A and B are shown apart, each in its own frame.
Chain A
Amino acid sequence: MSPSPENAATVLVTDCGSTTTKALLFERTDEGWRQTYRGEAPTTVEEPVADVTVGVSNAFREIQEISGRQLLDDSGALIISAENPAIGVDLYLSTSSAGGGLQMLVVGVVGTISTESAQRAALGAGAIVMDAVSADDGREDYQRVERIRHVKPDIVLLTGGIDGGSASHVVEMAEILVAADPKARFGDTLRLPVIYAGNANAAQEVGEILGRVAEVIVVQNVRPTLDAENITPAREAIHELFLSHVMSHSPGYGKLLGMSPVPVMPTPAAVGAVVNAYANESEKSVLCADIGGATTDIFSVFPDAQGKKIGNRSVSANLGMSYSMANVLVEAGISNIMRWLPFSIAEEDLRDRLRNKMIRPTSIPQTKQDLVVEQTVCREALRLALAHHKSLAIGVDDGGSTKGIANIFRQSSSRFELVDMMQLDVVVGSGGVLSHAPNRMQAALMMLDGFALEGITELAVDSIFMLPHLGVFSTVNLEGAHEIFTRDCLIPLGVAVAPIFSERLPRGTEIAEVLWNDSYSGVLRVGEVSMVGFAGGEVRDGRLEVIPSHASVDIGAGRGKRVVKNVRLGACGLILDGRNRPMIEDSFTIDAQRHILQSLGLYSGEMDR
């Protein structure tokens, strides 16, 4: 008899990504829960296979080969709870973002109120928001109708109005949806699911109007009053529809759903669960980037004006390292990609390389030069994704007690970006290009450059890209997930020190002195990037002190003020970045980039071939 999910001692978890299916084995050992083996295989949602479980089985088979533990029976099926505890596993779990993930359209009345709450509900549920349509978005009706028809979402979330307030505006948005008559992405006979989470008084009328073209599911209002947000019911409805409508229409997902007693979780929702838990426990502000083949998700946890920690997530649906690589090229522009290169390459050659990665997404760099090309694209994808995230991670300072109509005006004037890079404590990188960078310093530099980190920031990576796996595992065993997270998942890289200072300081000027556990460790100079390594490169906790050498230098405590912080170092030690923010133009030459790589031990003559 199989143990209940929470009592399972061997758990096999897959994350079915758009490019690769990653399988991890978690085992309860004498020293607690550990991640023990890993296997991966190309995701098989494409023709000719068109069955996600084939890639899943291939990933299982790789673990079976490496571990020597029999996981599959003669028919190739996963062995669950065999009598012999040395074979099979107790539990199988999975997350998924294959098939383009969950794609949603959000429709609301006021962009900065109901629509914004709806976006947070959708993003928090792991969706990609294809567009957010509001009554006040400045578009004409016909433009909204055309846009709604074009996006072909999996689910629509319709919101608007406070409970008991005027119904007319949200009903009007329902009318626009009827006019557009949107079709579901999968299954042309399927009625598009529309979740209504607006003014409760308008629910019946909205249901009658929309019932002609869609399947309407009514849940509680996301903004029952102006100063309250209630996104959990909408989020739960999204999860349910994700499983019943979206997953079941993806190739092979019916079989996948039948393999686990626990619902398959959208990958971003799983990662978000882990990031929020980590930020709450460590009491740090956290930024986490999960850069995949098709999309880049950014998660952040920062305090709001009242000091309450707010978790946010954004999905940049078309920024990624394989399927979406050509879109990074289009959005960033070729010159922004080329500026990071430490060697010369013809623009045409670079463009063709990025396009070829797009059409053959599972290929990998074989040469150092090609690896550098991919890592420059990553910098730009991170830069664009962070800008997108900042625009969505908005705090509302409602003054605590202001209610009613006055609050509407306050909300537009007191919205502020929650993400403050100078106050960021920890940045965590996840996704193949960061987790599997052959050299950990490469991952650190991609995040330092791409995010343009400021002040003092600890850098870490998800060791082998296991945040999604831990997220779904935490739903059945929170303690086990936490043990694996701290022991096997989070790899501290080092600490970046990147002050902001007066543009008038000439290149090479000393701008700050750095002390580690009260001992002199180095200086920061304008325009230079250097590394302070420590013998062995092992993880160490200590006291970092940065003393400005000039009154204009800000390291996070204000101009000219020294900063003392307890931090954790890893293989990359201290990275001292004197490029100012925004980065100075002369940082973007081939020689400057080559010099930076040389300073950090990353340059190789093979890159010029």
Chain B
Amino acid sequence: MVEGGKIPYQDWAAAKKKENFEKRLTRPVTRELNDTTGDPEAKCYLPGVPRATYIGLPFLIIETAKQVLLSYEFASATRIVYMDRKPKPPADSWMGWSVGSWDGDTLVIDVTAQNDKTWFDRAGNFHSDALHVIERYTLWTPYHLMYEATIEDPKVFTRPWKIRMPLYRRMEANIQPLEFKCVEFAEEFMYGHLVEKPGR
């Protein structure tokens, strides 16, 4: 879904991506490894934006006049999108800070202040804390949104780049988001090396 097919990494970053891929399922047996190596999603860490959109589990959009709430099944990740004003982020976070507006019938969300700890996917595509994402959600048919995101990070990429994909509305009767609280699935992977006899 990357427009143009390739992510425009700077040379050092292309090498780093390759290293990320090779070490993507490294068990975090030290603090340093936990902080620097391996796919954070494997540890049930919050996925950041835009990964939360295409992580494979549904999410819910709640729209009110002043705010949009995005509630993702994955790890109960949640984003508040301010629609009626533009407050500034007090600090970096995993899911960033979202300020939204309408461009005709398209919801535009400007996402800043994401930390550098998330990846774009399991393949090791990554970013720095200078990441800036601009999302566009457009109602395409009654059953599809068209989702576009422009991704900019001058520390990692040579230029901004774009992804584009349809989002499919879930049409089941009485559909509701369910829980995917994955921490308990990640604990053995993350902490098993600490206990004498890993496993139940």
A-B interaction = no
Give me the interface of A with B, judged by CB distance under 8 Å: none
Give me the interface of B with A, judged by CB distance under 8 Å: none
